[in-house]
Amino acid sequence: MGTLRIASSFKNVHAIMHAPLGDDYFNVMRSMLEREREFTPVTTSIVDRHVLARGSQEKVVQNIICKDKQEKPDLILLTPTCTSSILQEDLQNFVNQANLNTETDILLADVNHYRINELQAADRTLEQIIRFYLDNLKLQNINKTEKPSVNIIGIFTLGFHHQHDCRELKRLLTDIGIQINLIIPEGLQIHQIQQIPNAWFNIIPYREVGLMTANYLKQKFQLPFIQTIPMGIIETSKFIRQTQKIIYNTVPKKIETYIAKQIKSISQAAWFARSIDCQNLTGKKAVVFGDSTHAVAITKILVYEMGIQVVGSGTYCKNDSDWFREQLQSICDEILITDDHTKVSNMIARLEPSAIFGTQMERHVGKRLDIPCGVISAPIHIQNFPLGYRPFMGYEGTNQIADLIYNSFTLGMEDHLLEIFGGHDSKKIVTKELSVNQQLNWTPSSLNELNKIPGFVRNRIKRNTEQYARQKNCKNITIELMYEAKEALSS
Amino acid sequence: MNLNFECETGNYHTFCPISCVAWLYQKIEDSFFLVIGTKTCGYFLQNALGVMIFAEPRYAMAELEESDISAQLNDYLELKRLCLKIKQDRNPSVIVWIGTCTTEIIKMDLEGIALKLEKEIFLPIVVARANGLDYAFTQGEDTVLSALVQRCPKSHQDQDKALKRLVLFGSVSNTVANQLTLELKKHGIQVDGWLPSPTYTELPSLDHNVFVCSVNPFLSRTATTLMRRRKCQLISAPFPIGPDGTRHWIEKICHSFNRNPAYLNERENQVWEKLSSYLNLMKNKSVFFMGDNLLEISLARFLIRCGMQVYEIGIPYLDKRFQAAELNLLKQTCIEMNCPFPRIVEKPDNYNQIQRIREFQPDLVITGMGLANPLEARGINTKWSVEFTFAQIHGFSNAQDILELVTRPLRRNLNLNMDRLNEQFVL
């Protein structure tokens, strides 16, 4: 998947999957989620019974040659899948065979599906393609651009708000006098790869994909890179200062003025966080989960810029866990690194936050537990490919994130009114809790009282009250006991 | 005059057959489906069934890792652990193992392991190899049902040996099953059971006195298993899709039971009457089926009867014997409606098809999701084929739903001023 996402981001690069029927649902995702108008440049060289019996060399080579004639791509990428890695065929040999009869370049994506996940595969494939075209380039043949310029690495197909982020970054960089050399790999043509080293430095907005490429470019061409994630006011400003330091070794006055002006006039987030409405967010609890880039950035924003307590933060990027821990060590209570979503939902159920910021999975968990959820990271669904302009990065991004966070919490005043008047949802109590203890008896009046408590805290109150009743060996839960429990527990 | 069949390269898009768990786990209420595959299968299920995956579905992935593949771990113990957990958490009446490409290639002996495990955990385990090496999309259901046939009980001793009974096979929603059952009841025919039944514990009993008839065109393996293993008698009929198909289907069943269907013509005409507003829209419009779910022949036959022209019927796999009655009806329909025979392309090649679509410029292309948006961007109206798999399309009462789907893009164009829009964005 990751390999295909990279391949289909380039212009005129065709991927051929070596896979059984039905493994090509990538085409569906791209065409559905991104509402892509072009045919996805991915074909499958189908592995079926006949292929198992005969070996797939003939078929793969034929398919490559055929595609070369049909589409005339600049590069064909042969992509193994889980199934084909077990077959242990010498795909490199097929590539060499096909090379004899085609005009185009052919590469074999070097990924082992059992060892790495989608994002790691994307990272590697990108590096592999760039390396393939730059390895023979000599240092003295590089013509650096006259004005300071930069490559943005890691913008690609099916990325979470990538297109919007990319536009926002371009705007920001142009503002501070840095030209964009190339965007990699989205829309990049193969012949442009030669111009990558002309930039002064690289920017890696997303940790998951692009770091390998950046490291390679640093080794070979001494291109420095910035891996600060320009998300949130603090980090965006830090990011701008870093770009200046790379170019001038100092931060010019006018840039400081620029930052100040942006925070005052463009980004409403800083003022918003100070405004009176946001006071109600103080001390609210949130859980964050996503890829490492977004989980870290959103956690920092919640804690430093909004004063919200993050009780748990986690990522499914296990390979990046050290960095993740280091970033969030001191600012959130619990860190969870797992790709098992049941562990995540258990954590959420245990911590009972007022809002979740996570992926599509956490959104479903939130629905089940009646906790609002803002989606901040892949895996995502069609509603996260909005038509409107919704960057997460830069100063405009701070506004979007502030909106997202604020709307995820129940609005301040509404919150109060619910509490005072016992809420307007008289939903029956759903027993989602762990206690299936039937010996406790709620009197009608206390049940009524319980029903007045807003949905998202009702379960906790119920559980606490029952626990308290058990401690006191009470069989009947009356209103009095409820109040007692509340007092006992709020001390 | 014969239908013309062709066969291409098989480079086409369709869903993996493991997607059948999506509807089967809902159909068989006391089942649990365990898909034994890799990350790829997991991603696919997650994306294809994204909406349902967190509604505590009764299916799960047993994800194979490198150690499983290199046989360092014991498959048997691993599966035992999983199945015990499933038994404890969900307590199903049956666990269905879905074999995938990977289990096929590493030659995991699922059937053997299941036999041993069943005895140990006191729970039936049914093995279906719904892999992409052999099958396309809806054929996944075929593999599961043919595995279930083996589990159907033998008839009771006290049952009347001479009594002919009827069992229908194909998974349709309970509403549709009831509709079809009632439709047959009008002609004095009682349906004795369905495969799959709403629960595993109510599987129909089978023997040589049982007539079986399919409601779906992709169940050829199941039909073969029923005939060979359980000596059932297959009624070869067109499928009850569209009022014409439904009528022929009922007629065939009636003939097998030596009954004369009454009022069938009136019933069919009533339905056509109801559809007239759709038919006006469809008259002389052309359709192109790219092919991915094996419903294509029946749908094309129905649409020709509605007055449309079909250029091409792409289909992943065509069992000419199993679909014989349907193919005959298609031929007959073409002759009666005075339209040329469509070309039937087995294992189509999407690239070539797109070239042909360019040439023909059909009014409607019925295609998979991966190609719908790019075709729309080129000014071609499309309809997702997968919707036909998940909509209720069987019987007299659901004919309208099919046309609702087919005409939706045509109606949309009436609503949007397409010509003006097209000027703006056709590439």
What is the Cα Rg of chain A in Å? 27
Q: In chain B, what are the domains? A: 17-131 (3.40.50.1980), 165-257 (3.40.50.1980), 264-423 (3.40.50.1980)
> Residue A396 in 3-state DSSP?
helix
- Judged against a pLDDT cut of 70, whether residue A435 lies above it is answered with no
* Alpha helices for A222-280 (secondary structure H): 233-248, 253-261, 269-274
Q: What Å distances lie between residue A2 and A8, A30, A79, B129, CA to CA?
A: 10, 12, 10, 27
**B88-114 CB burial, b ≥16 within 10 A, e <16:** eeeebebbbbbbbbbbbbeebebeebb
CA-based nearest residue to A106, from A55, A68, A70: A68
**Cα distance between residue B377 and residue B371, in whole Å:** 10
Angle at A386 between CA B49 and CA B384, to 5 degrees: 45
* Run of H or E residues at A202: strand A201-203
What percent of chain B shows pLDDT beyond 90? 55
- Which tens digit of pLDDT belongs to each residue from A179-232? 999 998 888 999 999 899 999 999 999 999 999 999 999 999 989 999 999 999
Tokens describing residue B248? 């022929």
Q: Which residues from chain B sit within 8 angstroms of residue A46, using beta carbons? A: 10-11
* A19 and A46 Cβ atoms separated by less than 8 Å: yes
Q: Which CATH class is domain A139-227?
A: alpha beta
| Averaged confidence pLDDT in chain A | 84
* B344 and B334 Cβ atoms separated by less than 8 Å: no
Residue A378 DSSP symbol: S
Please give the torsion angle defined by the CA atoms of residues B106, B109, B110 and B112, in that order, rounded to the nearest 10 degrees: 180
pLDDT of residue B309: 94
CA-based nearest residue to A401, from A471, A301, A310: A301
A vs B, Cβ pairs < 8 A, gives: 130
Average pLDDT over residues A66-78: 88
Average pLDDT over residues A21-27: 80
Q: Is B41 known as a binding-site position?
A: yes
pLDDT of residue A431: 44
pLDDT of residue B56: 65
**Cα distance between residue A183 and residue A179, in whole Å:** 11
* Run of H or E residues at A195: none
pLDDT of residue B52: 55
Q: Which CATH class is domain A441-490?
A: mainly alpha
Question: In three state form, how does the secondary structure of A431-472 look?
Answer: CCCCCCCCCCEECHHHHHHHHHCCHHHHHHHHHHHHHHHHHC
Please report which confidence band the pLDDT of residue A426 belongs to, taking 50, 70 and 90 as the band edges.
Answer: very low
What are the residues whose beta carbons fall under 8 Å from the beta carbon of A430, sequence distance 6 or more? none
The amino acid occupying position A258 is Y
Average pLDDT over residues A63-71: 86
Q: Which residues from chain B sit within 8 angstroms of residue A43, using beta carbons? A: 11, 351
Q: Which CATH class is domain A1-115?
A: alpha beta
Q: Which CATH class is domain A270-420?
A: alpha beta
**Cα distance between residue A289 and residue A312, in whole Å:** 8
pLDDT of residue B354: 93
Q: Which residues from chain A sit within 8 angstroms of residue B18, using beta carbons? A: 22
What percent of chain B shows pLDDT beyond 70? 93
- Which tens digit of pLDDT belongs to each residue from A123-142? 999 999 999 998 888 877 78
Q: How many CA atoms lie within 13 A of A78 on its CB side?
A: 31
- Which tens digit of pLDDT belongs to each residue from A161-181? 888 999 999 999 999 989 999
CA-based nearest residue to A400, from A232, A248, A166, A250: A232
Contact A36 B105 (CB under 8 A): no
* Run of H or E residues at A45: strand A42-46
- Judged against a pLDDT cut of 50, whether residue B237 lies above it is answered with yes
Question: In three state form, how does the secondary structure of chain B look?
Answer: CCCEEEECCCCCCCCCHHHHHHHHHHHCCCEEEEEEECHHHHHHHHHHCCCCCCCCCCEEEEECCHHHHCCCCCHHHHHHHHHHHHHHHHCCCEEEEEECHHHHHCCCCHHHHHHHHHHHHCCCEEEEECCCCCCCCCHHHHHHHHHHHCCCCECCCCCCCCCCEEEEECCCCHHHHHHHHHHHHCCCCCCCEEECCCCHHHCCCECCCEEEEECCCCCHHHHHHHHHHHCCEECCCCCCEHHHHHHHHHHHHHHHCCCCCCCHHHHHHHHHHHHHHHHHHHCCCEEEECCCCCCHHHHHHHHHHCCCEEEEEEECCCCCCCCHHHHHHHHHHHHHHCCCCCEEEECCCHHHHHHHHHHHCCCEEEECHHHHHHHHHCCCCEEECHHHHHCCCECCCCHHHHHHHHHHHHHHHHHCCHHHHHHHHCC
pLDDT of residue A118: 85
CA-based nearest residue to A292, from A368, A198, A359: A359
Average pLDDT over residues A272-297: 84
pLDDT of residue B224: 95
Any B CB within 8 A of A234 CB: no
* B94 and B34 Cβ atoms separated by less than 8 Å: no
Question: Given the structure tokens 């409607």, which residue do they identify?
Answer: B364
- Closest CB to A25: pick one of B48, B53, B131: B48
Nearest-by-CA chain B residue for A53: B105
**Cα distance between residue A386 and residue A379, in whole Å:** 15
- Which tens digit of pLDDT belongs to each residue from B375-411? 988 989 999 898 898 888 999 988 988 998 899 888 8
User: What part of A 301-360 touches B (C-beta under 8 Å)?
Assistant: 360
Chosen from A1, A14, A21, A289 to mutate, greatest number of chain B CBs within 10 A? A21
* A146 and A23 Cβ atoms separated by less than 8 Å: no
- Judged against a pLDDT cut of 90, whether residue A103 lies above it is answered with no
Name residue A189's beta-bridge partners. Answer: A11
Q: Is B83 known as a binding-site position?
A: no
Which one has a higher pLDDT value, A422 or A149?
A149
Q: Which residues from chain A sit within 8 angstroms of residue B53, using beta carbons? A: 364
Nearest-by-CA chain B residue for A38: B374
Average pLDDT over residues A416-436: 51
The amino acid occupying position A433 is E
Domain with CATH 3.40.50.1980 in chain A: 1-115, 139-227, 270-420
Contact B10 A46 (CB under 8 A): yes
- Judged against a pLDDT cut of 80, whether residue A421 lies above it is answered with no
> Residue A282 in 3-state DSSP?
coil
> Residue A331 in 3-state DSSP?
coil
Please report which confidence band the pLDDT of residue B107 belongs to, taking 50, 70 and 90 as the band edges.
Answer: confident
Q: By mean pLDDT, which of A280-289, A448-457, B115-124 is the weakest?
A: A448-457
Q: What Å distances lie between residue B62 and B27, B42, B76, B327, CA to CA?
A: 22, 9, 12, 40
**B150-180 CB burial, b ≥16 within 10 A, e <16:** eebeebeeeeeeeeebbbbbbbbbeebbebb
Q: Which residues from chain A sit within 8 angstroms of residue B134, using beta carbons? A: 48-49
Which one has a higher pLDDT value, B278 or A479?
B278
- Judged against a pLDDT cut of 70, whether residue A413 lies above it is answered with no
Residue B81 exposed, middle or buried by CB count within 10 Å (0-12, 13-18, 19+): exposed
The most confident of the ranges A44-58, A222-236, A408-422 is A222-236
**Cα distance between residue B195 and residue B145, in whole Å:** 7
Q: Which residue in the list A48, A110, A277, A333 is annotated as catalytic?
A: A277
**Cα distance between residue A31 and residue B373, in whole Å:** 6
The most confident of the ranges A130-139, A468-477, B288-297, B367-376 is B288-297
User: What part of A 76-105 touches B (C-beta under 8 Å)?
Assistant: 81-83, 86-87
Q: By mean pLDDT, which of A461-465, B189-193, B243-247, B349-353 is the weakest?
A: A461-465
The most confident of the ranges A264-268, A328-332, B22-26, B211-215 is B211-215
Please report which confidence band the pLDDT of residue A360 belongs to, taking 50, 70 and 90 as the band edges.
Answer: confident
- Helix B242-256 vs helix B296-305: crossing angle, to nearest 10: 110
CA-based nearest residue to A173, from A255, A250, A232: A255
* A487 and A474 Cβ atoms separated by less than 8 Å: no
Which one has a higher pLDDT value, A265 or B331?
B331
Question: Given the structure tokens 């981001």, which residue do they identify?
Answer: A9
* B212 and B169 Cβ atoms separated by less than 8 Å: yes
A22 phi-psi bin (left φ>0, alpha ψ -120 to 50, beta other): left
Which one has a higher pLDDT value, A337 or A37?
A337
pTM for this model (two decimals): 0.80
Any B CB within 8 A of A424 CB: no
Question: Given the structure tokens 């079909």, which residue do they identify?
Answer: B310
pLDDT of residue B329: 96
CA-based nearest residue to A239, from A258, A220, A222, A223: A258
In chain A, the N- to C-terminal Cα span, in Å, equals 52
* A315 and A357 Cβ atoms separated by less than 8 Å: no
What are the residues whose beta carbons fall under 8 Å from the beta carbon of B421, sequence distance 6 or more? none
**Cα distance between residue A334 and residue A379, in whole Å:** 22
Average pLDDT over residues B230-257: 94
**Cα distance between residue B155 and residue B231, in whole Å:** 12
Please give the torsion angle defined by the CA atoms of residues B245, B248, B252 and B255, in that order, rounded to the nearest 10 degrees: 160
- Which tens digit of pLDDT belongs to each residue from B305-346? 999 999 999 999 999 999 999 999 999 999 999 999 999 999
Question: Given the structure tokens 């797109």, which residue do they identify?
Answer: B354
Q: What Å distances lie between residue A147 and A180, A181, A224, CA to CA?
A: 10, 10, 16
> Residue A2 in 3-state DSSP?
helix
Average pLDDT over residues B266-271: 91
> Residue A124 in 3-state DSSP?
helix
pLDDT of residue B180: 92
* A345: closest CA of chain B, how far (Å): 11
Average pLDDT over residues A19-32: 80
Nearest-by-CA chain A residue for B379: A37
Domain with CATH 1.10.8.550 in chain A: 441-490
Contact A28 B47 (CB under 8 A): yes
**Cα distance between residue A107 and residue A110, in whole Å:** 9
pLDDT of residue A462: 84
Average pLDDT over residues B147-170: 83
**Cα distance between residue A356 and residue A366, in whole Å:** 7
Query: Does A403 qualify as catalytic in the annotation?
Result: no
Residue A370 DSSP symbol: T
- Judged against a pLDDT cut of 50, whether residue A432 lies above it is answered with no
Q: By mean pLDDT, which of A23-37, A387-401, B16-30 is the weakest?
A: A23-37
Pairing state between β A335-337 and A309-315: parallel
Any B CB within 8 A of A1 CB: yes
